[in-house]
Amino acid sequence: MKTQWDRVGYRFGDKCVVLRGYIVGSARDAVYWKKTLFGRWLLMSSHHMTEETLPAYISEIRRFKPRFIQSYPSTAALLARYMTEHGIDPFPTVRAVLCGSENLYPWQRSLLEEAFGCRVFSWYGNSEQTVLAGECEESTHYHIFPEYGIVELIGRDGRPVANPGELGEVVATNLTNYVCPLIRYRTMDLATAAQGPCTCGRHYPLLERVEGRIQDFIVTGKGELLSGITMNIDTDAFDNVKQFQFYQEKVGEVVLNVVRKPAFGDSDAEYLYREVSRSCGDDVTVTIRYVDNIPLTTRGKYRYFVQNLPVHFGEREMAKIEHGSSDIPA
C-alpha cells in the first residue's frame, strides 16, 4: 500500500482526511472526527454525515488543510454531491482522492473529480490479503502487485480468460501469509483483463476494471449478469433522488429503493423509471419503491446493489438459478 500511495505523491508526513466507515463522536457533542497519527490524519465519521452536519464536515476539512482524502467511494460521493449541489468550491490543498474497499463507478469518479478538482485513484484488495492492485499516474487500469499474490482470471467455462476485455472471476494465491496460505482462492470478485504493458513503464499484470462482487450484479431474465459498472445511472433522472439502492430476489426482476428529495414529483418518477428500465434492458422488470432511508452496513459502507439470489459465476450454477433450483451453496 505504501508503494501504491507513493505513485500519487503521498509522503509519510502528509495530512490526510479519512472517510472509511469509522464511528467517531456522537450527536450529543456534535463532533464527528478526531485526529490520529500525531495529528497527521483526520478520521471523520461516515455514520453521521447528513444534510445538517455536512457543512461542519466541510469547514473542518478546510481548517485541517489535507493533501489527500482517503475514502470509500460511496462516502466521498455523499460529500461531493453536497458540494456540487450547493456550489461549494474544491478544497485547495487536496492533491488526490484515494478510493478503495468498494467499487468505484464511472459516475462516482466524474462526480469526485468535479467536486474536489483533482485526480481520483482507486485500489483493489480483499480482507484475505490474496490480491492487491491499484491505478498508476497515467492509467485507470489496475496494476496487480505480483509480489503480493498470484492472480488469475477464470471465465464462466472454468478456463483462464485469454482476451483483453473478457470477464472472469479473480482467483488468487497469496504470497505473504506464511501461517495459512490461501491457494487459488475464489474471491467471488469479477474483473476484466487489460492489454499491457502500461505506458507508465511498470510491467505488471493489468486489470481493465474491477466489476465488483458477484452479489453486486443483477441477474436478467435470460440468466445473464448485468454489472453496475456498465449501467447508466449517471443521469439527471437522479437529480431529485437523495439515495437509491437496487434490490433483487427474483430472476429478471429488480426493485429500485428510492429516498426522495422534497422536490421529487410525478414527472421525476416517470423519467427515473424510463431511464433505469432502459439501462437495465428488456430482460429486467423494474419496480420503484419509496423508502425513508437506506442504512449503511455495519462497516459504514453504502451498498448500491443488494442481491438476494445465490449467484455464482460458473455455467452450472447459473443454469440452476435459471431453472429455479435451490441447492446452490451460499
Per DSSP, 31 falls in state B
SS3 label, residue 83: helix
Domain range enclosing 143: 126-211
Domain for residue 328, yes or no?
no
Weakest mean pLDDT among 64-78, 89-103, 205-219: 205-219
If asked whether residues 197 and 234 sit together in one domain, one would say no
Last residue of a domain, one of 97, 123, 149: 123
C-alpha cell at 42: 483526520
Share of the chain above pLDDT 70, in %: 92
Q: pLDDT by residue (tens digit) across 116-172?
A: 999 999 999 988 999 999 999 999 999 999 999 999 999 988 999 978 989 999 999
Opening angle at CA 188, ends 184 and 191, nearest 5: 95
CATH code of the domain in which 111 resides: 3.40.50.12780
Name the strands in the sheet holding 206-213, side by side, starting at the edge strand that comes first in the sequence.
33-36, 41-44, 16-19, 68-71, 96-99, 119-125, 132-134, 142-144, 206-213, 185-193, 167-174, 149-154
Mean pLDDT of 44-57: 90
Which CATH number goes with the domain that contains 266? 3.30.300
Which pLDDT belongs to residue 325? 43
In the numeric block, which cell numbers belong to residue 134? Answer: 491499484
Same domain, 84 and 183: no
Same domain flag for 238 and 252 = yes
Higher pLDDT pick, 26 / 257: 257
**For the chain, percent helix, then strand, then coil, each to nearest 5?**
20, 30, 50
Q: How many domains does the chain have?
A: 3
In terms of domains, do 112 and 50 share one?
A: yes
State how far the Cα of 226 lies from the Cα of 311, in Å rounded to an integer. 12
Residue 327 belongs to a domain? no
Residue-wise pLDDT for 192-212, tens only, equals 999 878 999 999 999 999 988
The model's pLDDT over 213-266, given as tens digits with 9 standing for 90+, comes to: 887 888 888 888 888 766 666 678 888 998 899 999 999 999 999 999 999 999
